[in-house]
A = this chain, B = another copy of it.
Amino acid sequence: MKALVNLQVIPVGTEVSVSKYIVACEKVLEAAGLHYQLHGNGTNIEGEWDAVFDAVRRCHEVVHEMGAPRIHSMISVGTRTDKEQSLDDKVSSVRQQLM
């Protein structure tokens, strides 16, 4: 089952700048061989369900190992059985209708 995910990792109880933790998560996604794209409110990820969620767990583990005592993540996940659809497909289908 393919999953289209937005992951927003929010370390709590740390310094106010959390970019170093997000950097560490991006490296986890890269190491996992997932297709991902950082944006202003999280990271879009597409891949097989288990591969994606294993990487999300690894993000939590790594961010805790870096010293963040508490992490809240918001995960938006979409699956569908009627057709194959990528994140790019979703954006394209809206953009075409805006033109």
Which residues does A use to contact B, with CB under 8 Å? 1, 4-6, 8, 10-20, 22-23, 26-27, 37-42, 44, 46, 49-50, 53, 57, 60-61, 64, 69-82, 86-88, 90-91, 93-95, 97-98
Q: Are A70 and B79 in contact, CB atoms less than 8 angstroms apart?
A: yes
Task: Pick from B23, B75, B88: contact of A40, CB below 8 A.
Answer: B88
Main secondary structure of the interface of A (DSSP, over half): mixed
Q: Are B71 and A74 in contact, CB atoms less than 8 angstroms apart?
A: no
Q: Are B81 and A22 in contact, CB atoms less than 8 angstroms apart?
A: no
Q: Are B71 and A19 in contact, CB atoms less than 8 angstroms apart?
A: no
Contacts of A53 in B (CB 8 A): 53, 57
